[in-house]
Amino acid sequence: MAYVRQRGEIWYVGFRGATGGWTEKASKAQSKTEARRLATDLERQAERQRLGLEALPTDSTQTLAELCSWWIANRCPEATRKKQRLSLTAHVIETKLGSLPLRAVTTTVLESTFATMESDGYKPGTINKLRSTLHTIFSRARKSGLWNGPNPLTDTEPRKVSRVVRDTLSAEEVELLLPRVSEDWRGFFAVAAYLGLRKGECAGLRKTDVDLKQGTLTVRASYDRDTTKGGHADVLPIPPPLLRYIQAGLETDGPHLFPMSDGSMRPENSGPQRVLLHALGRAGLVEGFEHVCRRCKALKLKEVHTERHRDNAPRTCPIHEVRLWPRAIPRKLRFHDLRHSCATVLLRAGVDVHRVQRILRHADVRTTTGTYAHLGVEDLRRGLEQTYGLPAAAQPPQEARAVSGNVPARVEITLSEPARQAAKSATPQAISKWAEQGSNLRQAPCKGAALPLSYPPQAGR
């Protein structure tokens, strides 16, 4: 007979399982009656499995590699099918893990696999993506009747991913970069920098997506697919700096807005990264310069004399006394970082975060603020200065000479004009009320509701 018991606020149900042994598991039942009904249903299901009327969770003869291949062919989204096939082939299908039958793919085995990948140098993000994909595969298999057991990925632990600080371009640096990009790529880069389009969306733009009368651009495709990563089409306004690149794209051959030289669409394996690095070097957006001795390279010496400096001033090799050849070291930017730069430039200009979210077409505003917003210290300083009226280059007050002993003299503090006006408008009663109090007392009433994200005191409290 099935039984129920309560521990704290959770109801546990016990029943004789499909193998004949007793099983107890936590339930989501809210009452004892609901828990009893659930325990009875589970016991009846286990009895049907013992009698052969229903498949056991371990009756599947498929291997994990076969299940992954089924998911790629039938359930994987088309936009990510190629990447998922490469990832699953490398980490599952052609490994020992893929040859295991599904009943042998347990949480312990998967945790051991992830730990091995971690020791082999794989990044936590790569492991988490594989874990998420396998969890989705087992969930789809359960819904399709290919697997009746529990999802073994549920109890595995995700790896902690350290946050990476991405380098971005300012609005002035974007204006420096675009003229240095080769002409056939210039519009491709411009639409990524000004509207934050992804690489596939830049390639998938068609001339029919442009409406110059309304000044809009419709983002509806990624490469030759009929939908974007977000699965929806969006109409965006064309910013004025982008208009001339759009007009130049309309004069090219073929249906695409920014095609290749023959008018065809740029494929997925096209390489804008190399174009970006070359343009960064030409624009002077570099980390420094590597000065190399070409005489050492010509003589094929084992150790070629090189020097790294922040400038490209002329320098001489101490070995051969010839001039070193400076080579620019571009900043570590990816093409996708132009999308990050777009978000940062908009937020830096004071555009509210919800409009930035709509422009980047994120489903969640937390993706915009947490992943794509890269505001620096000076941006935070500017926000504080605008809020509190501090001068742009605030200097600490100078200490006056001591009157006697270690007692400092009175310190004069120069206030900015907004702060001086606020001090004049304050009533003497309000100032003296809190100035006369001693230390270690309750906070002033201004310290609650004035802080960001705090709630003002309600009436009657």
The predicted pLDDT at position 128 comes to: 95
pLDDT at 260: 94
Could you tell me the two tokens for 333? 């930017």
Domain ranges of the chain: 3-50, 64-144, 165-285+337-389, 286-330
In angstroms, the CA 9 to CA 319 distance is 79
C-alpha to C-alpha distance for 133 and 80, rounded to whole angstroms: 11
For all residues of the chain together, what is the average pLDDT? 82
Strand partners, 334: none
Distance in angstroms (rounded) separating the CA atoms of residues 96 and 105: 11
The stretches of 216-364 forming alpha helices (DSSP H) are 240-250, 272-283, 294-298, 337-348, 353-360
Closest residue by Cα to residue 195 from 245, 156, 231: 245
DSSP 193-241: HHH---HHHHHH-BGGGEETTTTEEEE--BTTBSS-TTSS-EEEEPPHH
pLDDT tens for residues 378-387? 777 877 887 7
pLDDT in the model for residue 251: 94
Up-side HSE of residue 257: CA atoms within 13 Å toward CB?
30
- Residue 48 banded pLDDT, cuts 50, 70, 90: confident
* Per-residue model confidence (pLDDT) at position 185: 96
Q: What does the pLDDT read at residue 53?
A: 63
Among 92-101, 239-248, 304-313, 387-396, the least confident range: 387-396
- 22-59 as b/e, with b when 16 or more CB fall inside 10 Å? eeeeeeebeeeeebbebbeebbeebeebeeeeeebeee
Q: Which residue has the tokens 């997506």?
A: 209
230 pLDDT more than 90: no
Count Cα atoms within 13 angstroms, Cβ side, for 196. 24
Structure tokens at 321: 């006394």
Q: Give CA–CA dist 117/111, Å, rounded.
A: 10
> Which pLDDT band holds residue 54 (cuts at 50, 70, 90)?
low
With bands split at pLDDT 50, 70 and 90, how would you rate the model's confidence at 45? confident
3 compared with 401, residue with greater pLDDT? 3
Whether the pLDDT of residue 314 is over 70: the answer is: yes
Q: What are phi and psi of 16, to 5 degrees?
A: -85, 120
Closest CA to 379 of 412, 344, 403: 344
Helix-, strand-, coil-residue percentages of the chain, each rounded to 5: 45, 10, 45
pLDDT of residue 300: 86
Secondary structure tally for the chain: helices H, strands E:
19, 9
Query: Does residue 431 surpass a pLDDT of 60?
Result: no
Residue 424 has pLDDT above 70, yes or no: no
Q: Which pLDDT band, with edges at 50, 70 and 90, does 89 fall under?
A: very high
- Check residue 67 and give its pLDDT: 94
393 pLDDT more than 60? no
Give the residue carrying structure tokens 């299908």: 93
Question: Average pLDDT in the 351-355 region?
Answer: 92
pLDDT of residue 390: 57
Other C-beta atoms within 10 Å of 89: how many?
A: 16
What is the four-CA torsion angle of 81, 124, 274, 370, rounded to 10 degrees? 90
Give the tens place of pLDDT for each residue, 90-104: 999 999 999 999 988
Quick one: fold of 165-285+337-389? hpI Integrase; Chain A (1.10.443)
Is the pLDDT at 320 greater than 80? The verdict is yes
